Amino acid sequence: MSTAVYLDHAATTPMVPAAVEAMTAELVAVGNPSSLHASGRRARRIVEEGRERIAAALRCRPGDVVLTSGGTEADNLAVKGIAWARRAADPARRLVLTSAVEHHAVLDPVLWLESAGHAEAGLLPVDADGRLDLDALDAVLAARAAEVAVLSVMWANNETGAVQPLAEVVARAAAHGIPVHADAVQALGALPLDVGASGVDALTVSAHKVGGPVGIGALVVRREIDVVPIVHGGGQERDIRSGTLDAPAVAGFAAAVELAVDRQDAHRRRLEALRARLVDGLRVRVPDVVVNGPDDPALRLPGVVHASFPGCEGDSLLMLLDARGIECSTGSACSAGVPQASHVLLAMGRSEDDARSSLRFSLGHPSTEADVEAVLEAIGPCVERARAARV
Amino acid sequence: MRVVAALSGGVDSAVAAARAVDAGHEVTGVHLALSRQRAQHRAGSRGCCTIEDAGDARRAADVLGIPFYVWDLSERFHDDVVEDFLDEYAAGRTPNPCLRCNERIKFAAVLERALALGFDAVATGHYARLVGGDGGDGGEVELHRAVDAAKDQSYVLGVLDQHQLRHSLFPLGDTTKPQVRAEAERRGLRVARKPDSHDICFIPDGDTAGWLRERLGDRAPDVPGPILDDATGEQVGAHDGTLGLTIGQRRGLRLGRPAPDGRPRYVLDIEPVSGTVRVGPREALAVDGLVAGRAIWAGAAPDDGAVLDGDDLVVQLRAHGAAHRARATVDGPLLRVDLLEPASGVAPGQAVVVYRGSRVVGSATIESTVRGSAGASS
């Protein structure tokens, strides 16, 4: 292990030993899960057992779990696949609704559908805490419910940690028969997550955010929902996703999800305590710091601290902390490493300067009090220096 | 020292950074994102700051084992370099954006940010040499020409003052380009054979006139106008606009009638507002004096009235241009330069860089020229 203070678990978190063991045990075995012989059947068994364990942990049917290459593919499949299918069934359904604070894996497919002429994009506003404006949703539904192809609202935001009012969204959509997709990549393992009870029609999860391997995820999608494939081929996953099934990754994914769900409550409590310490300490060291997103623990992720440091460039701060071995994120999308002002903060009504002055610290299963102390020790001088370096 | 190595994604800056590491400095690689709309990759040797260039810069940093960041200076670059370039053309001058970028971006915005973040210097892949100043005795740092005369970039660094020079490193000044490429190959840098970049980085297709026409629009419409014989005042042709023309240009004038003496004619003068272009024989291009403003001195500024002359006093009027023996007089805010060896194709807006032998003394921006034979001033 490196000696770095790693506080970027929302980007990716170390694999848990159970997942490493499950995965490495399978890496040496031969067998394509789609082959008909004994080796194929053995590999298929690994995949299907994994699928069943994932389904049990998420409280859905095994048949609902469509394995993908990760969260981005699952989001693309949900947004494009459901939008296309719904419009094919009724050409009037050309409005794709989503929140203005979605991850780019949802936002960009929605905007692409519009630019390609396949749909009209409807971005729903959020409040100052980054939570969906339900009145705005009501207004759209009152006027244009029959035109809505799909509604995609994330479970919890990857930058600010804000939990979205998904139950309210589902209730409103259900009244009009509109399918709801939720990106739950950040919520899994951090919040109680019961797909069946949530009422969503489709839900995205990713293995590497919960201690599984990078390169695998799933779209949990009810069988009653038509989805047009985005990856064509052998049709391995219910004919809506093709590609050789990755038995070792499924084994690692299943082990990680099981553990994450088992430990969710204890994990959440531990992170809440660390987070409180971090937030309190930041407020002492940098009195004008602004912690973004909801304050109420029920309305946010337990391990994410998204904060604006007035007068700083987030990327200067990130670099100064990095030089001291403290790893965090500006919480925003990067194009060739160029930090963009966060669309999430902008949607929350914050200025471009605010958006550029922000950092995200995200805690994870290996995080300790020593990690928090290291940040608190470094942050004062780093902020001071970053302020001086404002160009 | 703690050093920021500006990594463009090209071979020069990569080797410069490598040498800074070898010299024992604590080096951090920084790629400057200067364009607001970045292309995925560049076409041949044109353009820069593409996403591919950023990737090449990152891989160079990986090979050198140094941290790497991208600094977004696109707004500053747009305001200070691109807009300035447009303003200058709109006013009928011919600016050099590379000098401006060095003056305002690389050795200003980047350097000041680096100093504020706790770094001591910025290293770049420019071909120039710094001499002295390392004794810690407060002695001046001198900027000299590179040993590779074909690559020498001291001209575009002529806008740096002593503060900027004291916090700069030019590790390539002692070597030639072929040596730098061979060294990159030896070090396993993937960019060893990447083509050099040419032309103006923010005009990716190299069509400066088209680019200017598109952007200047109403601010300074590119007006068609007559082409007049400078000696007789007679109209000898017409042009579609002055943006594609430069002083000293001969080709593409489409003059209907040959000159009475049958010799080629060159653009002598361009009046962007009226659209009048004057042409004449090659000799009429010869400039034997110029007046320049906005002087920047590499070391201590000379006194008002000081005359800089001597056998080793030369001026250079464009990047990779010839050195002309000269005498320069400091006249208040102006620098008056008498060219002892006449120059041609000199346009207001260009920089005059004054050298004492190989050492850069200072630079200034040309405001007007004095023509020898005609005695006319543009």
Q: What is the pLDDT of residues B271-324, one digit of tens each?
A: 877 888 999 888 888 899 999 999 999 999 999 999 999 999 999 999 889 999
8 A C-beta contact, residue B13 and residue B23: no
pLDDT higher than threshold 90 for residue B198: no
Measured CA distances, B234 to B255, B277, B280 (Å): 12, 11, 11
Q: Residue B203, by phi and psi: left (phi above 0), alpha (psi -120 to 50) or beta? A: beta
Q: Are residues B277 and B362 in the same domain?
A: no
> What is the mean predicted confidence (pLDDT) over B118-129?
97
Nearest to B33 among A319, A338, A385 (CB): A338
pLDDT higher than threshold 60 for residue A363: yes
Q: Does the residue B200 lie in any domain?
A: no
Q: Does the residue B233 lie in any domain?
A: yes
* Domain, as residue range, for B300: 286-371
Mean pLDDT value across chain B:
89
Question: Which of B119, B140, B120 shows the shortest CA–CA distance to B131?
Answer: B140
pLDDT higher than threshold 50 for residue B213: yes
CATH (domain of B361): 2.40.30.10
Active site residue A334: yes
CATH (domain of B242): 2.30.30.280
Measured CA distances, A222 to A174, A179, B224 (Å): 14, 10, 68
Domain boundary among B283, B299, B321: B283
Both tokens assigned to B161: 């003052």
Sign of the CA dihedral running A299, A302, A305, A306: negative
Q: Are residues B9 and B142 in the same domain?
A: yes
The distance from CA A345 to its chain's CA centroid, rounded to whole angstroms, is: 17
| pLDDT at residue A390, rounded to an integer | 80
pLDDT band at B251; cut points 50, 70, 90: confident
| pLDDT at residue A128, rounded to an integer | 97
| pLDDT at residue B374, rounded to an integer | 44
Residue type at A223 in one-letter notation: R
User: Residue B69: which H helix or E strand, with range?
Assistant: strand B68-72
Strands (E) across B189-322 are located at 225-229, 235-239, 266-271, 276-280, 287-297, 307-308, 313-316
Residue type at B287 in one-letter notation: V
- Please write the tens of the pLDDT for every residue from B316-356: 999 889 999 999 999 999 999 999 998 988 889 999 999 99
**Cβ contacts of residue B43 below 8 Å, gap of 6+?**
B204, B205
Domains of chain A (ranges plus CATH)? 5-13+264-388 (3.90.1150.10), 17-262 (3.40.640.10)
| pLDDT at residue A365, rounded to an integer | 96
**Cβ contacts of residue B352 below 8 Å, gap of 6+?**
B290, B292, B315, B316, B317, B335, B337, B363, B364, B365, B366
Q: Are residues B187 and B230 in the same domain?
A: no
Both tokens assigned to A76: 């693309």
Q: Are residues B169 and B261 in the same domain?
A: no
CATH (domain of B131): 3.40.50.620
Q: Pick the catalytic residue: B48, B49, B98, B101?
A: B101
Distance in Å, alpha carbon of B25 to nearest chain A alpha carbon = 15
| pLDDT at residue B137, rounded to an integer | 60
User: Residue A360: which H helix or E strand, with range?
Assistant: strand A358-362
Q: Does the residue B306 lie in any domain?
A: yes
Q: Are residues B257 and B291 in the same domain?
A: no
Q: Are residues B101 and B150 in the same domain?
A: yes
- Please write the tens of the pLDDT for every residue from A284-332: 999 999 999 999 999 999 999 999 999 999 999 999 999 999 999 987 6
| pLDDT at residue B197, rounded to an integer | 77
Q: B69 and A385 in contact by Cβ < 8 A?
A: no
Q: Are residues B180 and B322 in the same domain?
A: no
Is residue A66 less than 8 Å (CB to CB) from chain B? no
Q: A323 and B58 in contact by Cβ < 8 A?
A: no
8 A C-beta contact, residue B253 and residue B71: no
Residue type at B262 in one-letter notation: G
Contact residues on chain B for A338, CB-CB shorter than 8 A: 33, 38, 54, 70, 72
- Please write the tens of the pLDDT for every residue from B221-233: 778 889 998 888 8
Ordered DSSP codes for A237-294:
BTTTB-S---HHHHHHHHHHHHHHHHTHHHHHHHHHHHHHHHHHHHHHHSTT-EEES-
Is residue B113 less than 8 Å (CB to CB) from chain A? yes
Q: Are residues B330 and B269 in the same domain?
A: no
The percent of residues above 90 in pLDDT, for chain B, comes to 58
pLDDT band at B91; cut points 50, 70, 90: confident
Q: Are residues B22 and B108 in the same domain?
A: yes
Q: Are residues B16 and B61 in the same domain?
A: yes
Q: Are residues B293 and B255 in the same domain?
A: no
Is residue A320 less than 8 Å (CB to CB) from chain B? yes
Nearest to A389 among B31, B33, B117 (CB): B117
Q: Are residues B29 and B134 in the same domain?
A: yes
- Please write the tens of the pLDDT for every residue from A337-359: 666 788 999 999 999 999 999 99
Q: What's the domain count of chain B?
A: 3
Q: Does the residue B6 lie in any domain?
A: yes
Could you tell me the pTM of the whole model? 0.88
